[in-house]
């Protein structure tokens, strides 16, 4: 019913060729946004999802692909990878560096990645310290432009408990401070210039008013803003720019941590900063992130981690950090244990292990789709089955977290890019 009403609002499908509009009817769909739907129907047009629902009736004339045995999942999103890139990268303080210069479309690996259900790949710059900015691609396309989804995605900051890495971040923020100060002066100067101009114009008319104004020590802020219509802010220094953009919410930061203390040191550098950041933690058997889990939860942080159960240091006590983070109010994101084709092959099996150890299934599925998409700044376009989002799907012949499950097909922006579907 919903579908029919929606269909009315869709322009008549006369113009675009038939494959551009079709419906998928599957046994089960993991929508991520609204839980699991049995007997789901998804309507796709021009590479976007039009609607999703249970047992929807499809209007006559729209081709319906029937896959009653299949489970549909939004395309997987790997947000922290170096696949397909091979430079050694910079080291030290190179916040302006863009990893996207390394992107080279004509490689076999992109197809391999896509075949494993990964429709979005967040690539990060190689190097140490603050090595630069990452970018996002779809592993498909003949040119760089076709592949690129977003550039830059995040500023990568490797934070470790040592004076060196703390200094890098401090330096960057200081540069942004310098810029802000300079900009403040510029604005003041510009304001004065404008005032002069204005004063000249209506010199005679508003003489009295001007006098009244001059008594007012600080004109209201809103007014000052309005007056700055013609103002163009100066361009910050290339190394300061990423940090200025962080503060303006134009760029996000992804900070990597190796142990709990690193987080305290990160907070120690950030202090009063309010910009948003996500974390990437590396899980080994002796990690101690449980010490700061409540702090992670407090900020509702999104944290990319390996899907694995770790042991508490010096014990055989098992810990599931993804579960603890979710319980504390944070948002886990899963990244394959190893950044390789084999890692991608085992990815969902490892996620399944963590679910087996108690993590909520929906949280786990979210952690390989919507949350990584949000980490990459593409949460409004990818990661769930919702109207308006890209039609990126993986079709499985069973539960995606089950070991024996195979991928039937992969659909990227409405097009079949891997597998076979009987129409």
Partner 1 sequence: MNSLLLLGAALLGSVMPSLVAQETSGSKSSDAKTADAKKDEAKKADPEPKWFAVVGGDVHTGTGGLLRGATVLAKDGVIESVGYSTDLPEGTEVLSARGLQVYPGLVAISASLAVSQGSRFLAEDDLHMRCCVDFGKNGHLHEGPLDAELDLLLADQAGLVDAQSDLRDAYDPFSSSLLMTLAVGITSAEQSGGALKLKRGEIDGVVMRERFLSSFTWTSASSGKTQLREKFAAAARYLREKREWDVRKDKVKDLPEPSKKGIEQKILSVLDGSARAKFNANDRDDLLGIARLAQEFGFRPVIEGCVEGWIVAEELGRAGAYAIVYPRQRRDKDENLVRAGGSSIENAAILHAHGVQVAIGPASNGIDLGGITGRDLLHLTVDADFAVRGGMTDAAALAGITTVPARILGIDHRVGTLEKGKDCDVIVTDGDVLHYETLVQYTVVAGKIAYDKQKELLFAHIRPRTPGDGKTSNSSGDSAPASAESQPPQR
Residues at the site binding partner 1, with contacts judged by CB under 8 A: 89, 91, 126-129, 131, 158, 160-167, 170, 256, 258-261, 264-265, 268, 282, 284, 288, 291-292, 313-315
Question: Least CB distance from residue 130 to partner 1, whole Å?
Answer: 9
Least Cα distance to 368 among 333, 342, 394 occurs for 333
270 or 407, CB closer to partner 1?
Answer: 270
170 or 349, CB closer to partner 1?
Answer: 170
Dmax (CA) of the chain: 86
140 or 259, CB closer to partner 1?
Answer: 259
Q: What is the DSSP string of 175-207?
A: HHHHHHHHHHHHHHHHHHHHHHHHHHHTTTTTH
Centre a 10 Å sphere on the Cβ of residue 65 and count the other Cβ atoms it contains: 19
Q: What is the DSSP string of 21-77?
A: EEEEEEEEEE-SSS-EEEEEEEEEETTEEEEEEESPPPPTTS-EEEEEEEEEEEPEE
- Dig out the tokens for 171 from the structure: 């330096």
Strand partners, 42: 24, 52
3 or 169, CB closer to partner 1?
Answer: 169
What are phi and psi for residue 113, nearest 5 degrees?
-65, -45
196 or 291, CB closer to partner 1?
Answer: 291
Buried/exposed 145-156: b ≥16 CB within 10 Å, e otherwise: eebbbbbbbbbb
Query: What is each CA distance from 383 to 3, 43, 395, 417, in whole angstroms?
Result: 22, 17, 15, 18
Question: Least CB distance from residue 306 to partner 1, whole Å?
Answer: 11
Question: Least CB distance from residue 337 to partner 1, whole Å?
Answer: 12
36 or 258, CB closer to partner 1?
Answer: 258
Q: Give ∠ CA 90-92-96 in degrees, rounded to 5.
A: 65
174 or 207, CB closer to partner 1?
Answer: 174
Question: Least CB distance from residue 295 to partner 1, whole Å?
Answer: 10
96 or 128, CB closer to partner 1?
Answer: 128
Q: Is the CB of residue 295 less than 8 Å from the CB of residue 263?
A: yes
Alpha-carbon span 367 to 304, nearest angstrom: 8
261 or 407, CB closer to partner 1?
Answer: 261
Alpha-carbon span 259 to 292, nearest angstrom: 10
Question: Least CB distance from residue 128 to partner 1, whole Å?
Answer: 4
Alpha-carbon span 93 to 165, nearest angstrom: 9
Instruction: Name the pairing type of β-strands 36-45 and 310-311.
Output: unpaired
98 or 381, CB closer to partner 1?
Answer: 98
Question: Least CB distance from residue 41 to partner 1, whole Å?
Answer: 43
Alpha-carbon span 66 to 76, nearest angstrom: 22
Question: Least CB distance from residue 158 to partner 1, whole Å?
Answer: 6
List the 154-158 sheet strands across, edge first: 132-133, 154-158, 252-257, 277-281, 302-305, 331-334
Question: Least CB distance from residue 127 to partner 1, whole Å?
Answer: 6
Question: Least CB distance from residue 316 to partner 1, whole Å?
Answer: 11
What are phi and psi for residue 148, nearest 5 degrees?
-65, 130
Question: Least CB distance from residue 165 to partner 1, whole Å?
Answer: 5
């Amino acid at each position: 019913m919903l579908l029919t009403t929606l269909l009315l609002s869709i322009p008549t499908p006369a113009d675009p060729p038939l494959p551009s509009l079709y419906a998928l009817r599957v046994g089960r769909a993991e929508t991520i946004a609204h839980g699991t739907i049995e007997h789901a129907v998804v309507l796709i047009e021009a590479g976007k999802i039009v609607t999703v629902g249970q047992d929807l009736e499809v209007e006559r004339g729209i081709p319906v692909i029937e896959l009653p045995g299949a489970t549909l999942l939004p395309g997987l999103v790997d947000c922290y990878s170096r696949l397909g890139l091979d430079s050694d990268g910079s080291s030290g303080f190179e916040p302006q560096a863009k990893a996207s210069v390394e992107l080279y479309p004509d490689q076999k690996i992109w197809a391999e990645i896509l075949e494993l259900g990964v429709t979005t790949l967040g690539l990060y710059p190689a190097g140490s310290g603050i090595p630069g900015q990452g970018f996002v691609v779809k592993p498909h396309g003949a040119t760089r432009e076709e592949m690129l989804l977003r550039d830059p995605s995040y500023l990568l900051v490797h934070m470790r408990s040592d004076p060196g890495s703390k200094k890098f971040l401090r330096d960057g923020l200081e540069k942004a401070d310098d810029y802000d100060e300079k900009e403040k002066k510029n604005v003041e100067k510009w304001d004065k210039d404008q005032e002069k101009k204005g004063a000249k114009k209506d010199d005679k008319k508003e003489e009295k008013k001007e006098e009244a104004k001059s008594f007012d020590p600080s004109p209201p802020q809103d007014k000052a803003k309005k007056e700055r219509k013609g103002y163009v802010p100066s361009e910050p220094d290339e190394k300061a720019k990423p940090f200025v953009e962080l503060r303006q919410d134009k760029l996000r930061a992804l900070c990597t941590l190796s142990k709990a203390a690193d987080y305290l040191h990160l907070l120690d550098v950030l202090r009063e900063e309010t910009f948003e950041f996500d974390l990437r933690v590396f899980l080994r058997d002796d990690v101690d992130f449980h010490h700061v889990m409540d702090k992670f939860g407090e900020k509702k942080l999104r944290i990319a981690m390996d899907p694995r159960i770790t042991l508490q240091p010096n014990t055989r006590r098992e810990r599931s950090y993804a579960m603890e983070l979710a319980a504390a109010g944070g948002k886990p994101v899963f990244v394959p244990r190893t950044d390789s084709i084999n890692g991608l092959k085992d990815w969902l099996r490892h996620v399944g292990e963590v679910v087996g150890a108690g993590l909520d299934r929906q949280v786990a599925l979210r952690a390989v789709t919507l949350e990584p998409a949000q980490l990459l700044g593409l949460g409004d376009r990818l990661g769930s089955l919702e109207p308006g989002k890209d039609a990126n799907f993986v079709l499985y012949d069973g539960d995606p977290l089950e070991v024996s499950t195979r991928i039937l097909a992969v659909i990227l922006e409405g097009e079949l890019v891997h597998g076979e579907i009987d129409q």
